[in-house]
Amino acid sequence: MVNEKLKIAVKNAKYFLLDMDGTVYLGDKLIGSMDKTLEKLRKCGKKIIYLTNNSSKSEQKYQEKLKKIGLFDGDDFVYTSGIATAEYLNEKYKGKTVYLLGTDALKKEFVKSGINLVEDKTPDICVLAYDTELTYEKLCKFVTCIKRGAYYIATHPDVNCPHPEVFIPDAGAFIKLIEASTGLLPAEIIGKPFGGMGNNLKKRLNAENSDFIMVGDRLHTDIAFGNACGFSTILVLSGESTVNDIGKTVGKPDFILDSLNDIVDYI
């Protein structure tokens, strides 16, 4: 049975915010005929924005992966928690000096967006990202900076990152390590489930809440993010969550689909 409310939400939406793993692909495999589904959405004027908390890779790297599997079109864009953090710093802390615990790829994106990155131990702000090139030296420098009073921001809170064999430590695990050593926690976290990326997108696109539909497979990140922003949310059952998980954690989906491919019934 077609849900009339979902039909209206789809009709009103201009932007589909899509989580990636578990929502449009699983590892390297498309979920059903997702390429055709997204093409149908684009054909009826919907813009696709891929949202990821992973701040270790550049926008370019994600674009390449999506292009390779037929999920990226010229008008789409990828929005990472790393880029969102750079935008937030430019808006709220323009000109402040920043020490970044992050990959070289993210450093390049920060520099490109005009962030004043420094390597000394007295920055105004410290940003913790998913640093897959982490060294003990970088970790010690970060801890020294925040203990000396630098303002502490994290790109996202995920404790683990999906990986084919076992889940591997993500930025949230680094946050816990730093907390164990210093007792300090980030003053602000930008990525899902917090609303930072949504606020930035609303400003960037000059859009309203009803212009967005957030689609994802995780209740406590994707759906909770949509709830925090006031966007319509669709939980897809093609990844981590099952119907039984609803109500057991944060994140209340407005709609549930077996996979995003079922959206074609609502266009």
170 lies in the binding site for Mg ion (CB under 5 A): no
Cβ(53)–Cβ(79) below 8 Å: no
Phi first, then psi, for residue 228 (nearest 5°) are -60, -35
Question: Tokens 């859009």 belong to which residue?
Answer: 207
Number of residues forming the site for Mg ion (CB under 5 A): 4
Q: What is d(CA 250, CA 225) in angstroms, rounded to the nearest whole number?
A: 10
217: contact with Mg ion by CB under 5 A? yes
Q: Which stretch binds Mg ion (CB under 5 A): 11-19, 61-69, 72-80, 116-124?
A: 11-19
By CB under 5 A, name the one of 22, 123, 186, 196 that touches Mg ion: 22
- DSSP conformational letter for 93: S
Kindly tell me which of 52 and 232 has the beta carbon lying closer to Mg ion. Answer: 52
Whose Cβ is closer to Mg ion: residue 123's or residue 216's?
216
Q: Which strand ranges, in their side-by-side order, compose the sheet holding 15-18? A: 77-80, 47-52, 15-18, 212-216, 232-236, 255-257
Q: Which of 21, 87, 131, 158 binds Mg ion (CB under 5 A)?
A: 21
Q: Which is nearer to Mg ion, 62 or 99 (CB)?
A: 62
Our finding on whether 262 is near Mg ion (CB under 5 A) is no
What is d(CA 96, CA 94) in angstroms, rounded to the nearest whole number? 6
Q: Which C-beta is closer to Mg ion: that of 134 or that of 215? A: 215
Binding site residues, Mg ion, CB under 5 A: 19, 21-22, 217
